[in-house]
Structure 1
């Protein structure tokens, strides 16, 4: 029997008036599916939201990571603190050259990295690099030591394929120039799309100039939509175990639980303060699988007689999950159901365990740690 190595979290979330993820025109992102225009939250925006939610609530700075073009400056800042603490003379300009070369060696070939030291070539690469706190601290420790500006410092001595950052292990990172150091993602995130067609609404607004004697000081327009979004996130237990080094740490279960909670609840933050569409998932179906399996809404859900797409979306998702088990019973293992719209009259044609959000996250973490 094929091992159930994957766990996919399917969710349906009804989002009121919002523009959480917009395109280059300021419109809510869209996709054409089943001949209809649907709302879309990109996978990239969802991964960013999950990572930020997880790291904002992380227990120590040591669990956090940074993805930036300015990592050399951050490493040098940390090195300067270490040097002052140790009473070591510190040459910030020289340290920045070394840090820049180290970071760029991950994303540019040796020739590009060497040439990028000159002031006129500082912008040789616009690539953002993602490092964990412990990796930055390790490099800073060398630069901030008595011999930190002498000799050759190799990135591979301090940055490994396996990482102590659960965020990096979850979503993976690529180093174009040193592929043997890049981290494979343990989690696959699909875009969230509405289960039905959407409309884009235009909001005409004005701002009042408090010192201008009344009247509008600015006129403008913004774009919004609403809908029921389906998304799926699949955790590859084997890959996550291979990418993350923190499995034996005392707070491993707490960190995993926080990540799972972020996966379930986090949303992109576009125009968040203007609309505050921070609703909780109406339905969550988490199921262990032999292979990555998601569900689809290619044929758009029709509105209920009195309006609304939520009930029809929930029924469609449960129906597909039931049909998938009938088609290939060996594909699925444990199933957990949660969400704000789960009630006693919800008919589910397969075995499952009902769970609150804390119970759901705990059970998923128990599965991960088996």
Structure 2
């Protein structure tokens, strides 16, 4: 695929009191931006939430995992497929991966770093020895190494990537041949307005000790904040197609990413705050020049205006529309596609303003289907 296409995803989302992503003190992460303190959710936290959402909606063999236990994961599959006892399966798995040169961790059987790979890729490695596993297990270590050294184990991890790995990439510093360039970049989510850290002082009652003690059985505090967040991510369709080796698969991945990035949310302290919300606005913009993060719309913090009825989320949506139009006008980089889904009343001034910037309001299913259709058209035009 020669044509460069970037799919920018812009989201405005309000979250109630929550602690989505903790810092080293256990408090919600923050950032200083535009002269004021903002709520922040790291890109890593939202990428993990998105990957977790993938796993809930994909067949198990299409799942990916990031772990130090690749040897153990491979060993389980060797034993399951070949009927070998667990210790023989573990020995074969270790010897299969040994030529890759993956550094060993401090704990026996672990690698020194997290590896990101797909379950299907492990099954492809098992395919290499499944028919001769019993004979291989009978060899001594020297004979086994000689028998396995020519097998294309590395190639199995260099191809057939699951959607997660293709989107978010893989970095193995000491084995560059295993690296996968990420097709997706995710920005840290920032509140569009100034935020102050608050604390929830909570107590827990001992249900079996009510007669003897009248005080609390446990006392503690949890830091929290509430915010309207601006979230941004971009997907390079050309890189995604290269990683997956298939344009149709790349289109599927784009659609899945937009779906799950928009609907997912980090789970920090979720049981305490039940903070799951859906976005007020999702806008997708397809560009053939470069991605554009519109966070500059909020360099001046959004503030509630007493003479206007709009809340912070609606004012944030209007600021995004203004910044988007300024960027297109001043830089002359008109996108090849734009669409928006929002929750503001049809016919309202806000809906009219958003329509002028991004196009007519669509439902979320219409937005994702329309995005795919437009990408197909653009690829056909460039063929």
TM-score tier after normalising by the smaller chain length = 0.7 to 0.9
Partner residue of 2:51? Answer: 51
For these two proteins, the number of residue pairs brought into alignment is: 352
Structure 2, unaligned stretches of length 5 or more?
Answer: 138-143
Q: Which region of structure 1 is more displaced relative to structure 2, 355-364 or 209-218?
A: 209-218
Partner residue of 2:245? Answer: 245
CA distance in 1, matches of 2:129, 2:47: 32
Partner residue of 1:9? Answer: 9
TM superposition shift of 1:235: 1.1
Question: Could you tell me whether the CA contact under 8 Å between 2:6 and 2:237 is conserved in 1?
Answer: yes
- 2:298 equivalent to 1:291: no
Q: From the superposition, tell whether residues 219 and 307 of structure 1 become closer, same or farther in structure 2 (CA, over 3 Å).
A: farther
Structure 1, unaligned stretches of length 5 or more?
Answer: 85-89
TM-score (norm 1): 0.86
- 2:370 equivalent to 1:363: yes
Q: Deviation per CA, 1:27-70, whole angstroms, max 9, x where unpaired?
A: 00000111211000100001101111012111x21211111112
Question: Could you tell me whether the CA contact under 8 Å between 1:76 and 1:140 is conserved in 2?
Answer: no
Q: Deviation per CA, 1:340-369, whole angstroms, max 9, x where unpaired?
A: 236322214446242111011112223444
User: Secondary structure of the equivalent of 2:170?
Assistant: coil
TM superposition shift of 1:145: 4.1
Q: From the superposition, tell whether residues 175 and 366 of structure 1 become closer, same or farther in structure 2 (CA, over 3 Å).
A: farther
Question: Could you tell me whether the CA contact under 8 Å between 1:107 and 1:176 is conserved in 2?
Answer: no
CA distance in 2, matches of 1:100, 1:69: 13
Question: Could you tell me whether the CA contact under 8 Å between 2:69 and 2:109 is conserved in 1?
Answer: no
CA distance in 2, matches of 1:213, 1:133: 51
TM superposition shift of 1:91: 4.8
Partner residue of 2:206? Answer: 209
CA distance in 1, matches of 2:101, 2:52: 24
Partner residue of 1:24? Answer: 24
CA distance in 1, matches of 2:374, 2:177: 29
TM superposition shift of 1:330: 3.2
CA distance in 2, matches of 1:304, 1:102: 65
- 2:255 equivalent to 1:257: yes
**Structure ranking higher in helix proportion:** 2
Partner residue of 1:99? Answer: 93
Q: From the superposition, tell whether residues 3 and 135 of structure 1 become closer, same or farther in structure 2 (CA, over 3 Å).
A: closer
Choose the corresponding residue for 1:140, options 123, 126, 139. Answer: 126
The root-mean-square deviation of aligned C-alpha atoms, in Å, is 2.6
TM superposition shift of 1:302: 1.3
